[in-house]
Amino acid sequence: MQETLNGENQHTLKGSVTLRGVGLHTGEEVNMTLKPANPGFGIRFQRVDLPEKPIIKADVDYVVDTSRGTTLEYNGARVSTVEHTLAAMVGMGIDNILIELDGAEVPILDGSAKQIIEAIESVGVQEQDAKRIVYTIDTNIHYYDPVKNVDMLAVPSSDYQITTLIDFNSPVLGTQHATLKHIMEFKDEIGPCRTFCFLHELEYLLDNNLIKGGDLSNAIVVVDKVVEQDELNRLAKVFNKQKIEVKQEGILNNVQLHFTNEPARHKLLDVVGDLALVGHPIKAHIIASRPGHASNVEFAKKIKQYIKKNKHLSDIPHYDPNQQAIYDITHIEKSLPHKFPFLLVDKIIELSDNHVVGIKNVTFNEHFFQGHFPGNPVMPGVLQIEALAQTGGILALNNYSDPENYDTYFIKIDKVRFKQKVMPGDTLILKLELLNPIRRGICEMRGTVYVGNKLVTEAELVAQIVRKDKK
C-alpha cells in the first residue's frame, strides 16, 4: 500500500517567486508568492492580508464550495479557485510549498497552469532529503453521480495516469477525450490548456456580475447557438474589444486553440488539481467521464478514505536502518534547544503535517544509567516521555514556515502507560500523531514508543508553541 515513488525524494522550490493577476470571480488584483517549505509540509495557502495570516492546508476536508471552482476554508479564512495552482504543483513534482496570497482568490492568469509552471521553472526545483511516499490503489474505487451523469473510477496502475471524457451534448465540442500517460507529460500537454465556458453561461455570469475578473484572454468561449450581431457588439463593449465574431468552428475569436481537444485537456487539468486535495501522491489510473469540481472533490474524499483505512496510521511504524533519514542528528540539534546530555532523538524517519516518527538508540553509555538501577540498567520512563516530547517538537514546529523562530513547551501529559522495560541495546521508535489541528499555538498529540513490534510506552501530550521574541 505504501512505498517510495521510484526511489524519488520530496521536492520544493529553490527560491520564492511572485505572480500578480486578478481573481476571475472577485475581479480583485492579488499577489501570489510561492515559497519553499520543509519536508512533510505539504501544499498550503496563507492569507497574508488577514490579521493572523491564517494557513489553509490543501486538503479535501476543507473544501466548502465547488460552484465556480474549488474553494477551501479553515477557521473562517477562504481561498478560492485553487485547482489550477494545485495542478501545477502536481505536474511539476512539488511536494512542499507555502503559497502566500494577499486576497481571497488565486489569480486566474490566462486560465491555465502555464504561467504558474513558468514561475516554478524561473526559480527551479530543489530535491529534499526526505523520501516521497506514494500510495498505491489495490482495488477499484468508483464514484457515480446519477443526476449529473458523472462517472469516475480509479483502477490499480503502476503509474499515475488520467483519462477524461467530456460530452456536453454540444454540436461544437462533440465528444472529446484526453489522456495523461505519465505526469512528466503534464507541463507541455496539459499545463497550457485554458478553461472554457459556453456563451450562454458567459452571458448569465455577466448579467449577474459573477465574473468581475473575466476577460476574453483567459477563457475559451464556445458558441453553441445563433448569436445576433447586437449581442456580439455588447460583448465587444463589455470586454473592451473592437470586434467580436464567431469562428467557423463555433469558438469566439478571442483565442486560438492550442489543441483541438483543449477543453477535454483542461478538464483533465482540473482533475489533477482537485485530486491533489487527497493529500498524498497515488498510483492509479483515473478514468473520469464528464467530471466537474463537485464530482472531483467527492471522488477525492473516497480516495482519501481508502488511503486512511488502509495505511494504518495507528500501526507500528517500520524502521529500516538503511532508510535515509528525513532529519539527521545535525539538523535535529539545530532545530531543538536541547544539547548533551539531554538531546534524546537521533533521527527523524517520517514526517508529515500530522505525524512524525523519530529514532532513539539506547546504549549502555547513556549518562542516566550510572545512577538508575545500577547493575540492572533501565531507561527512566520520564526520559522516554521526554524523547517523545522532543520528537513532538519537531512535528509541531514543522507546521510553521519559520520554525527557527519558535520553541515548544509541554504544558500537559496525560494517559501515560509504561508497558515494557527499555534496556541498553534497544532502539526506540517514537511516533506522534496530532489529535486535533494546531490552533492558537496549542498542539495536542498522541505518542507511542515501540521497541521492535512491542509497544513499551504511550501517552497524550499537549504543547504550546511560543515565538522566541514573545517569551
**CATH assignment at residue 36:** 3.30.230.20
Tell me whether residue 70 is in a domain.
yes
| Cα–Cα distance for residue pair 340/333, rounded to 1 Å | 10
Q: How many domains does the chain have?
A: 2
Shared domain check, 169 and 96: yes
**Residue 253 pLDDT exceeds 70:** no
Q: Which of 91, 82, 66, 88 is nearest to 150 (CA)?
A: 66
Cis-peptide into 341, omega within 30 deg? yes
Query: With bands split at pLDDT 50, 70 and 90, how would you rate the model's confidence at 438?
Result: confident
Distance CA 303, CA 2 (A): 14
- pLDDT for 349-392, tens place per residue? 999 888 999 999 999 888 888 776 777 889 999 999 999 999 99
Tell me if 449 is assigned to some domain: yes
Q: Please check whether residues 172 and 69 belong to one and the same domain.
A: yes
- 307 and 335 inside one domain: no
Greatest mean pLDDT among 72-76, 193-197, 408-412 lies in: 72-76
349 domain residue, yes or no: yes
Judge whether 235 lies within some domain.
Answer: no
Cβ neighbors of 358 (< 8 A, separation 6 or more) are: 345, 346, 347, 348, 349, 387, 390, 391, 394, 429, 430, 431
**199 assigned to some structural domain:** no
23 and 137, same domain (yes or no): yes
The number of CA neighbours under 13 Å toward the Cβ of 153 is 10
Residue finishing a domain among 253, 282, 311: 311
Over 60: is that where the pLDDT of 313 sits?
Answer: no
186 and 269 assigned to the same domain: yes
Q: Are residues 281 and 338 located together in one domain of the fold?
A: no
**234 assigned to some structural domain:** no
Whether residue 272 sits in one domain with residue 128: yes
Q: Do 157 and 281 have their domain in common?
A: yes
- Give catalytic residues, as residue numbers: 293, 372
Residues 269 and 405 occupy one common structural domain = no
CATH code of 418's domain: 3.10.129.10
Higher pLDDT, 278 or 471: 278
Taking each helix axis from N to C terminus, what angle separates 199-207 and 229-238, rounded to the nearest 10 degrees?
A: 60
Q: Is 31 exposed, middle or buried (0-12, 13-18, 19+ CB in 10 A)?
A: middle
Same domain (yes/no): 299, 424: no
Range of the domain at 304: 2-194+262-311
| Domain identity same for 341 and 302 | no
Does residue 46 form part of some domain? Answer: yes
d(CA 78, CA 327): 33
Is 267 part of any domain?
yes
Same domain assignment for residues 64 and 132: yes
What cell does 357 get? 516518527
Q: What value does the mean pLDDT of the chain take?
A: 87
Count of Cβ atoms closer than 10 Å to residue 158 Cβ: 9
The predicted-structure confidence for 66-114, as pLDDT tens digits, reads as follows 988 999 999 899 999 999 999 999 999 999 999 999 999 999 998 999 9
Q: How confident is the model at residue 55 (pLDDT cuts 50, 70, 90)?
A: very high
Whole-number Å distance between alpha carbons of 235 and 432: 58
